[in-house]
């Protein structure tokens, strides 16, 4: 172990989750305890805050508020979707980063995010190395999408899955009160990977969930969909179908593109999706002429910290904490990852994945976990996902409403 003394910067990136702040608490509280970390800076809006030198001194925060980060959803330091150019094409951002790192003697960089953020981590680390500036860079995984390569699962997924499956159970009961026909379409996040949509199967497994579940891993066939909905509708008069926002037909056309709403692209070139539920609801309405509801879980599925998975909250904290410990011990260029340990009951260990390997590789739901009809999940998926939603976590409530962390954000 080689000792490296210096400040650390921690940043949050990408879409919010219920537990990204729990990882922040893990990084910050652990970094504040480490002797070799001389200062703990939080970057406002991720890498953008580093470039703009908007950095907060985390030692100025109340420890009670830092503790509350564990149960506070969204990104308390602010997030960003900022794509660093390749240093070969344009190294101006990298030069600025190096300048800031040198100015504040930053020797540790912790970045919490998904695929794109791990790519950012990797690029920064490579540049620092090529510049001969010693700095340890560690990625902390985060994504409700659960699509990061090399880790059993991602912090954020378990809580989103718990919200989705609980809400699906409640909607199941709600949609069944009348003895008249009703078809409900649930639209669930997940652009290319169906992990979130699949989590609705946890409700079905309890007998209170969707009858049909369509993941983006398989092409969405409208005729097959209407046929399957129709069969159940004829038999029971009630149908709940869960569909990924990223559902697309065999030609790659999103269901959401079947409407007049024009599609926009985000700064990573991803197509902005939405509207799948309402489009399917109107098609189903026209086909079956019954009561139909299209429901989007929208932002609630990623920020409902009041119904977080305790397992997820604790693992998110641990991921942040371990990133700091490994870095202090000399590791760099890794993302902290989870591996399921052998045994009958769920236990989760920590391992490290090279950033080179994780960046920009998407992990999808294995096809063998989708049932043969392509409209549901197998028991293997249930066995995989069920441990991740165990335990209930939520913020303390004060006077009827959640008490979330309030950071002072003292600029350096």
| Structure-token match 């090399």, residue found | 150
**CB-neighbour burial class of residue 175 (10 A; exposed 0-12, middle 13-18, buried 19+):** middle
Q: Of the candidates 268, 277, 281, which has an alpha carbon nearest to the alpha carbon of residue 246?
A: 277
Q: Of the candidates 22, 26, 30, 13, which has an alpha carbon nearest to the alpha carbon of residue 308?
A: 22
Among 33, 85, 206, 340, binds its own copies (CB under 8 A): 206
Among 23, 29, 74, 125, binds its own copies (CB under 8 A): 74
The reply to whether 292 sits near its own copies by the rule CB under 8 A is: no
> Residue 388 in contact with residue 161, Cβ under 8 Å?
yes
| Interatomic CA distance for residues 62 and 67, integer angstroms | 9
**Which is nearer to its own copies, 22 or 76 (by Cβ)?**
76
Contact track, its own copies, 228-267, x by CB under 8 A: ---------------------------------x------
Among 134, 227, 392, 408, binds its own copies (CB under 8 A): 392
**Could you confirm whether 312 is annotated as catalytic?**
no
Among 8, 22, 48, 101, binds its own copies (CB under 8 A): 48
Closest approach of its own copies to the CB of residue 197, in Å: 17
The tokens of 359 are what?
Answer: 């960046």
> Residue 181 in contact with residue 238, Cβ under 8 Å?
yes
Among 70, 142, 238, 293, binds its own copies (CB under 8 A): 293
The reply to whether 203 sits near its own copies by the rule CB under 8 A is: yes
**Which is nearer to its own copies, 127 or 384 (by Cβ)?**
384
Query: Phi then psi for 158, rounded to 5 degrees?
Result: -60, -40
**Which is nearer to its own copies, 203 or 212 (by Cβ)?**
203
Closest approach of its own copies to the CB of residue 279, in Å: 12
The reply to whether 105 sits near its own copies by the rule CB under 8 A is: no
> Residue 386 in contact with residue 158, Cβ under 8 Å?
no
| Interface segment toward its own copies; rule CB under 8 A; list 8-16, 230-238, 349-357, 362-370 | 8-16
Q: Which of residues 167-186 bind its own copies (CB under 8 A)?
A: 167, 169-171, 173-179
- Whole-number CA gyration radius for the chain: 22
The tokens of 392 are what?
Answer: 């209930």
> Residue 338 in contact with residue 352, Cβ under 8 Å?
no
Among 135, 213, 389, 407, binds its own copies (CB under 8 A): 389
The reply to whether 400 sits near its own copies by the rule CB under 8 A is: yes
Active-site residue (options: 145, 152, 312, 333):
145
Counting other chains too, the contacts that 60-65 makes at CB distance below 8 Å and 24 or more residues apart are 60/408, 60/410, 61/28, 61/407, 61/408, 61/410, 62/408, 65/405, 65/406, 65/407, 65/408
The reply to whether 36 sits near its own copies by the rule CB under 8 A is: no
The count of other CB atoms within 10 Å of the CB of residue 154 is 28
| Structure-token match 């010693």, residue found | 134
| Interface segment toward its own copies; rule CB under 8 A; list 58-66, 114-122, 228-236, 299-307 | 299-307
> Residue 382 in contact with residue 210, Cβ under 8 Å?
no
With H, G, I as helix, E, B as strand and everything else as coil, classify residue 37.
Answer: strand
Closest approach of its own copies to the CB of residue 225, in Å: 21
Contact track, its own copies, 309-348, x by CB under 8 A: x---------------------------------------
Starting at the earlier edge strand, list the strands of the sheet with 6-12. 55-57, 37-43, 6-12, 106-113, 136-141, 334-340, 348-354
CA 220 to chain centre: 24
The reply to whether 197 sits near its own copies by the rule CB under 8 A is: no
For its own copies (CB under 8 A), the number of binding residues is: 60
Among 390, 408, 410, 411, binds its own copies (CB under 8 A): 390
| Interface segment toward its own copies; rule CB under 8 A; list 32-40, 76-84, 106-114, 244-252 | 76-84
The reply to whether 304 sits near its own copies by the rule CB under 8 A is: yes
The reply to whether 71 sits near its own copies by the rule CB under 8 A is: no
What is the secondary structure of 227-241 as a DSSP string?
Answer: HHHHHHHHHHSEEEE
> Residue 407 in contact with residue 56, Cβ under 8 Å?
yes
The reply to whether 382 sits near its own copies by the rule CB under 8 A is: no
Binding residues for its own copies, per CB under 8 A?
12, 15-16, 44-45, 48, 72-76, 78-81, 162, 165-167, 169-171, 173-179, 202-203, 206, 208, 261, 278, 282, 293, 295-296, 298-300, 302-307, 309, 386, 389-392, 397, 399-402, 404
Catalytic positions, please?
Answer: 145
């Amino acid at each position: 172990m080689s000792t490296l003394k210096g400040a650390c910067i921690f940043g949050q990136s990408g879409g919010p989750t219920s537990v990204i702040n729990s990882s922040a608490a893990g990084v910050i509280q652990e970094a504040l305890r480490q002797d070799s970390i001389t200062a703990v800076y939080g970057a406002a809006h991720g890498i953008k805050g580093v470039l703009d030198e908007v950095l907060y001194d985390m030692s100025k925060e109340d420890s009670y508020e830092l503790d509350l980060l564990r149960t506070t959803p969204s990104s308390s330091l602010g997030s960003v979707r900022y794509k660093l150019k390749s240093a070969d094409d344009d190294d101006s951002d990298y030069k600025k980063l190096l300048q800031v790192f040198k100015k504040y003697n930053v020797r540790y960089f912790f970045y919490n995010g998904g695929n794109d953020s791990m790519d950012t981590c990797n690029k920064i680390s490579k540049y620092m190395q090529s510049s001969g500036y010693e700095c340890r860079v560690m990625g902390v995984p985060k994504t409700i999408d659960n699509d990061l390569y090399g880790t059993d699962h991602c912090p954020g997924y378990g809580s989103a899955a718990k919200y989705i499956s609980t809400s699906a159970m409640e909607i199941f009961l709600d949609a069944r009160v009348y003895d008249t026909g009703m078809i409900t379409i649930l639209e669930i996040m997940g652009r290319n990977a169906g992990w979130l949509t699949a989590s609705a199967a946890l409700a079905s497994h309890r007998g209170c969930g969707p009858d049909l579940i369509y993941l983006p891993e398989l092409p969405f066939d409208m005729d097959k969909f209407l046929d399957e909905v129709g069969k159940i509708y004829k038999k029971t008069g009630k149908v709940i179908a869960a569909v990924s926002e990223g559902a697309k037909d065999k030609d790659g056309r999103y269901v959401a593109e079947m409407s007049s709403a024009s599609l926009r692209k985000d700064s990573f070139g991803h197509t902005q999706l939405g509207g799948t539920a309402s489009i399917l609801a109107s098609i189903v309405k026209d086909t079956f002429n019954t009561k139909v509801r299209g429901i989007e879980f929208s932002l609630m599925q990623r920020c409902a910290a009041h119904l977080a998975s305790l397992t997820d909250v604790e693992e998110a904290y641990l991921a942040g904490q371990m990133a700091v410990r490994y870095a202090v011990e000399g590791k760099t260029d890794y993302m902290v990852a989870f591996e399921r340990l052998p045994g009958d009951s769920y236990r989760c260990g920590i391992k490290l994945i090279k950033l080179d390997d994780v960046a920009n590789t998407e992990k999808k739901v294995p096809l063998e976990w989708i049932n043969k009809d392509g409209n549901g999940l197998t028991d293997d998926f249930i066995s995989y996902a069920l441990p991740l939603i165990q335990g209930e976590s939520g913020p303390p409530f004060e006077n009827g409403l959640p008490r979330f962390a309030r950071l002072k954000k003292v600029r350096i």
